[in-house]
Each structure stands twice: as C-alpha cells, then as structure tokens.
C-alpha cells in the first residue's frame, strides 16, 4: 500500500495527512518552518538574480547515463532527412488568419494593462541588460559589497520581518477574543460556537482555556513565565532584577481570578513607585529636580501647602474616613455585632445552633428512614426495626440553614458560619456554603478504593450538607424513652475519596463521575465548619479542600489582637 504524502501549507514539507492536520492545529516545528522559509527566500532571490542576469542558470538535474542499445546514426544520414513543414499553412482555413490581430499600438498606449509597470518578462529586455549594474547605484552605503552579500542581507531582512509571528494556537486565541469583543457574546453562547460551526470554529478553545491563554500571552504573565523558566538560581535572580518580577504566583493557575483586575501588579509599581515619587520631587524641587527650572514655577508647592498635605494624609488614612469616602462602611466594619445572629429556632439541647428558614415537613424516603433509624438506634438504644417502623409515614420537620454560634475573645456570643442545605436552598446565584468538614464513622481516606471502611471511632471527613432533620421530643417519647429531648441530625453527602498531601498540607478529593457518595446521617453537632474548594488543571483536573478556620478568616479577632485592653 502506497503511503499518501502531501505538502504542508505552512512548512512546505512532504508529510502524511495526519501530520499535516497536527501542524495546522498546533503549529509546525520551528526548525522546519525556519528551514522552509530560508529555502523559499533563497529560491526567490536566486530566481531574481537569474532574471537580472547576475547568476548562472539553474543546473540540469543529474541523471544516470544508459548506454544506447543501437548505434548512433551518422551525420551524413541526418542531412538527407528534410525538416517537416508545419501543416497549418497548407490548410484551407489558414487563409482567413490575420497575423498580428489584436489591439494596435494606439490602444496599447492608452490601456493600463500595457503600462510600464505591467510589462511581461522578456519585453524590452534590451533596455534591462545593464540593470544588474544599476542595482546598487541608489544605495551609496552599500558600495564595497558584492551582489551576493547584498542579497544575503535582503534574505536576512525578510526572515526577520516574517519570523516574529504567533503560533497557530495563539492565533486561534486572538481570533476567539475578537469574536467575543466584536459580538459581545455571552459565555454560554460562546461555548456553542464550536457545535454551530464545526467546519470553521471546531478549534476554538473553551472559555476558561481562552482566559488562561490570554493571561499567559499578556505582558505580566509572559514576564513571570520568563522568570520561572530560568535554568538555575543565578539566572533566575538576573531575570528577576531585569523584569522586577519574582515569578509566577500560584494563584495564576486559578481560572476564576483575573490578574489585571484582582492583582494590578504593574499599575501598583508604575503609580506608587515611579510616578508619584517623581512628581513629589518635581513639585518640591528636590531629588533629581533640585536644579531644574528657576524655582518660580507655578507648579511648585509652597512649604506651607506641603505641611497641610502632610497633616491631612494621616487623617484620611483612618479606617473611618476610608469607609466614608469609598462607601465601604459595612464591608470594612470590624466591630463585633450581636445582630449577625440569624433569626431562627433554637432547641434547648442544641443551644449553640440556630436553625433558619426555609423549613417544611416531609416524609423521609425509605432509604433515608433506614439510615436515620440506624443512627438513632446507637444513640437511644432502641432496635433499628422499631424506629424504622415508627418513622414510616411520619412527617418530620427539616431545615434548610443552620448557623453555629461562637464566642469572641471578649467572651461575647456572636453569629458564626451559616451552613446551607443543598436540597432546600440550592440556587446558582447564591454563594456556595454547603460543603462542610464533619466527623464520621466511615473512613474514605483511600485513593485506590471507593468503598468506605466502617470505624469504631469517629474520623474527620468532608462532604456537602443536604438538609437538617428534627426528630421531635414527642416522637422520641413514643419510643418509650424517659425524659425525651429532640434529636437533630444532618444529612451529608460525603466526597467519594480523600487523601492528604503532606508536602503541600492539602486534602485532595474525588467524586464518582461528578456524583457524591451515598448520604450519611450524623448528629448536627458533628458538623465542624464550612470549607472551600478549588479545582486546578485542564487535562488532568484535581480538586482540593481549602480550610477556612484559620486566624485569617476570623475578622472578630483583629480588634482584640491590636488592642488587647
């Protein structure tokens, strides 16, 4: 079977169709593009030199010599053979042919087709015989160079002019960005362009990949990547001093963060480290401007004005003034308030928990009834079957939110985190506050197995809170329990697999095809706190748990820490 070979339109190499498709999608190898560009430039220059008569004609292709099988006819025999006349003049129709038919000289002089700039090759060659001598006539700075050296420099100029081009995948990024800017298209509609136009826009990157590529080829990220790519510490130190950047921040790998908006690194350095100090020196005639001007310019600040400005700066830097000027009264309010405790229902034996609307009464599903019965059996010592029969067909109150009450360092009761049950308060427009850290008797800390291991002692686990179920005191009394008290359980969907990464001190988790593990029933007090989540990578996505119980997140500790009295 003969392999099909085609010519790549970019590098002009003979390759298989599969390789050509890869070249068109990801770009040709740089060495092939450089070699192809050099060959084409040299061929074009040689053709121009041959046309001007400054180079020898192309040599004929070498071929193998084969001895003739018959003797060569003699010259005398060739003289006896008369040359054959063309048959056209003897044909009767040739009498109607008019030699030289076409537009005459007068019409040619008026037609732009036959202008001086559109003459074909071979026309007026007599006038161009000495054109090779006139090539360098208008270039006095090129005197002393040979024609070959002159055209070699032309080749280098053409290579440099066409060499600084974006690769194909970056061109596609620019094209995608232009689509979004020109059409003001939404992210949801942008994701459908590839399906709507598979023949033209099949290679459009997804929206997150587009944002990541734009950030990568932008100036700040490009310089940071340049520093990260240093071969050794000395080279990295030199590049850091050269660019003023220490490297690429780990936050750059988070697609939801936009560095020009969230971290204006270049703007900060430009304004506060360059422009403002320079203006201060200019306004006060100090520093590099100590001898600049005459000293009577209108822009110079009088010492009294400078004193007033210096007194006003500390006043404006106070937190109360910043709140008032920028309208951040609530956002920057660091004082303790009792009104952050939600209005809800509190139960006597759960004094540190407040249950907040939405709420309703439902009949638990049979599978959930069995799990609740198993949990209650271990708490009150009643057989699981008896509790399951009592729950069958019974309405139970469920809550959608639960707030944990906490105490500040000043020993005041303050409202803590509000945990939302995903089953009752699921909403895309609200903040995701359903994932929690809790204590469970099932261990999922195995990366090679999805089946949990049942334990005798409780262990930390992570998952999503679904809802909070209240088993009222009258229901507990119906099970012949003396001094009944309500029991509140939380329905939690755990992560399927967990593992701890020691080097980074992070917890990584997995789901099963995007689904959580089966629901677990735990006491409401076993929910420890809310957690955050982060997903990194594109080809190999990894998900991590972000703890939120450190001192960084405790704004109520700032006042006591700064002013302990």
| Tens of pLDDT, residues 157-194 | 655 555 445 566 666 776 777 766 666 677 667 777 77
For residue 342, what are its two tokens? 């939600």
Q: Are 435 and 462 in contact (CB under 8 A)?
A: yes
For residue 409, what are its two tokens? 């360092």
Q: Which residue has the higher pLDDT, 210 or 435?
A: 435
Q: Using alpha carbons, select from 208, 221, 282 the residue that is nearest to residue 249.
A: 221
Q: How far apart are CA 193 and CA 183, in angstroms?
A: 12
Model-level pTM greater than 0.75?
no
- Say what the pLDDT of residue 38 is: 73
Beta bridge partners of 6: 15
- Say what the pLDDT of residue 146 is: 66
Highest mean pLDDT among 63-72, 277-286, 484-493: 484-493
Question: 63-77, 307-321, 358-372, 528-542: which range is least confident on average?
Answer: 63-77
- Say what the pLDDT of residue 123 is: 46
Q: How far apart are CA 380 and CA 172, in angstroms?
A: 65
DSSP percent split of the chain into helix, strand, coil, nearest 5: 40, 20, 40
CB within 8 Å of 263: residues ≥ 6 apart: 249, 251, 257
Query: For the chain, how long is the longest CA-to-CA vector?
Result: 138
With 0-12 / 13-18 / 19 or more C-beta atoms within 10 angstroms meaning exposed / middle / buried, residue 473 is middle
Q: Radius of gyration (Cα) for the chain, nearest Å? A: 41
- Residues 230-245 have a mean pLDDT of 81
With 0-12 / 13-18 / 19 or more C-beta atoms within 10 angstroms meaning exposed / middle / buried, residue 529 is middle
The DSSP output letter for 512 is B
Q: Are 216 and 222 in contact (CB under 8 A)?
A: yes
- Say what the pLDDT of residue 439 is: 94
Q: How far apart are CA 246 and CA 234, in angstroms?
A: 13
pLDDT per position as a tens digit, 267-287: 556 666 677 888 888 888 888
For residue 426, what are its two tokens? 């699921």
pLDDT band at 442, cuts 50/70/90?
Answer: very high
For residue 77, what are its two tokens? 């025999």
CB within 8 Å of 345: residues ≥ 6 apart: 354, 355, 399
CA distances, 227 to each of 213, 243, 247, 261, 266 (Å): 18, 8, 6, 22, 16
pLDDT per position as a tens digit, 101-140: 444 444 444 444 444 444 444 444 444 444 444 544 555 5
Where b means 16+ CB within 10 Å and e means fewer, 206-225 reads: ebeebbbbbbeeeebbebbe
pLDDT per position as a tens digit, 82-103: 444 444 445 454 444 444 444 4
Beta bridge partners of 438: 461, 527
For residue 532, what are its two tokens? 């955050």
Helix (H, G, I), strand (E, B) or coil at 435: strand
- Say what the pLDDT of residue 314 is: 81
DSSP 328-370: -TTTT--S--GGGSPS-EEETTEEEEEEEEEEEEEEPPHHHHH
Q: Find the length of the chain.
A: 565
Question: 11-25, 44-58, 476-490, 506-520: which range is least confident on average?
Answer: 44-58
- Say what the pLDDT of residue 489 is: 95
Is the peptide bond prior to 47 cis by the omega test (within 30 degrees of 0)? Answer: no
Beta bridge partners of 488: 470
Question: What is the CB neighbour count within 10 angstroms for residue 462?
Answer: 21
pLDDT per position as a tens digit, 306-365: 888 888 888 777 777 777 777 776 666 666 555 467 788 889 889 889 999 889 999 999
Q: How far apart are CA 200 and CA 203, in angstroms?
A: 8
> How do strand 435-443 and strand 453-471 relate by DSSP bridges?
antiparallel
- Say what the pLDDT of residue 8 is: 80
């Amino acid at each position: 079977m003969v392999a099909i070979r085609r010519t790549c339109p970019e590098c002009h190499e003979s390759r298989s169709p599969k390789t050509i498709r890869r070249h068109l999608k990801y770009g040709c190898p740089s060495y092939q593009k450089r070699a192809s560009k050099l060959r084409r430039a040299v061929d074009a220059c040689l053709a121009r030199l041959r046309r001007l008569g400054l180079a020898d004609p192309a040599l004929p292709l070498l071929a193998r010599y084969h001895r003739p099988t018959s003797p060569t006819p003699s010259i005398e025999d060739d003289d006896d053979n008369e040359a054959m006349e063309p048959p056209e003049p003897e044909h009767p129709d040739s009498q109607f042919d008019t030699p030289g038919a076409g537009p005459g000289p007068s019409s040619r002089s008026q037609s732009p087709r036959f202008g001086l700039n559109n003459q074909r090759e071979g026309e007026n060659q007599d006038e161009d015989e000495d054109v090779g001598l006139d090539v360098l006539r208008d270039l006095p700075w090129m005197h002393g160079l040979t024609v070959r050296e002159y055209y070699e420099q032309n080749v280098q100029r053409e290579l440099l002019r066409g060499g600084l081009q974006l690769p194909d995948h970056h061109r596609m990024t620019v094209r995608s960005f232009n689509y979004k800017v020109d059409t003001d298209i939404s992210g949801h509609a942008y994701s459908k362009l590839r399906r709507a136009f598979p023949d033209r826009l099949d290679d459009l990157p997804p929206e997150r990949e587009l944002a990541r590529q734009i950030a990568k080829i932008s100036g700040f990220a490009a310089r940071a990547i340049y520093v990260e790519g240093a071969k050794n510490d000395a080279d990295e130190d030199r590049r850091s001093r050269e660019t003023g950047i220490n490297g690429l921040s780990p936050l750059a790998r988070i697609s939801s963060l936009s560095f020009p908006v969230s971290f204006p690194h270049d703007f900060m350095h430009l304004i506060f480290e360059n422009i403002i100090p320079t203006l201060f020196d200019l306004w006060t005639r100090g520093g590099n401007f100590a001898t600049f001007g005459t000293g009577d310019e209108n822009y110079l600040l009088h010492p009294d004005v400078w004193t007033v400005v210096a007194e006003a700066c500390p006043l404006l830097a106070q937190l109360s003034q910043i709140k008032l000027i920028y309208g951040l009264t609530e956002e920057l309010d660091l004082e303790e308030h009792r009104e952050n405790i939600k209005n809800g229902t509190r139960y006597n034996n759960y004094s540190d928990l407040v249950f907040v609307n939405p709420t309703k009464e439902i009949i638990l599903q049979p599978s959930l009834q069995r799990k609740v019965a198993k949990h209650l059996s271990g708490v009150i010592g009643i057989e699981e079957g008896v509790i399951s029969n009592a729950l069958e067909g019974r309405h139970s109150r469920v809550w959608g939110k639960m707030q944990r009450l906490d105490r500040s360092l000043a020993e005041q009761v303050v409202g803590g985190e509000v945990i939302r049950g995903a089953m009752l308060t699921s909403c895309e427009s609200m903040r995701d506050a359903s994932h929690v850290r809790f204590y469970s008797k099932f261990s999922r800390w195995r990366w090679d197995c999805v089946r949990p291991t049942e334990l005798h002692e409780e262990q930390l686990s992570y998952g999503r809170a679904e809802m909070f179920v209240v088993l009222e005191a009258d229901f507990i009394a119906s099970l012949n329990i003396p001094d009944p008290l309500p029991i509140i359980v939380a329905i939690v969907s755990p992560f399927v697999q967990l593992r701890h990464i020691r080097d980074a001190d992070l917890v990584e988790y997995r789901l099963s095809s995007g689904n959580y593990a089966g629901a677990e029933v735990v006491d409401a007090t076993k929910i420890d706190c809310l957690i955050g989540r982060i997903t990194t990578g594109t080809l190999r996505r990894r998900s991590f748990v972000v703890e939120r119980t450190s001192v960084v997140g405790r704004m109520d500790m700032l006042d006591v820490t700064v002013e302990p009295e």
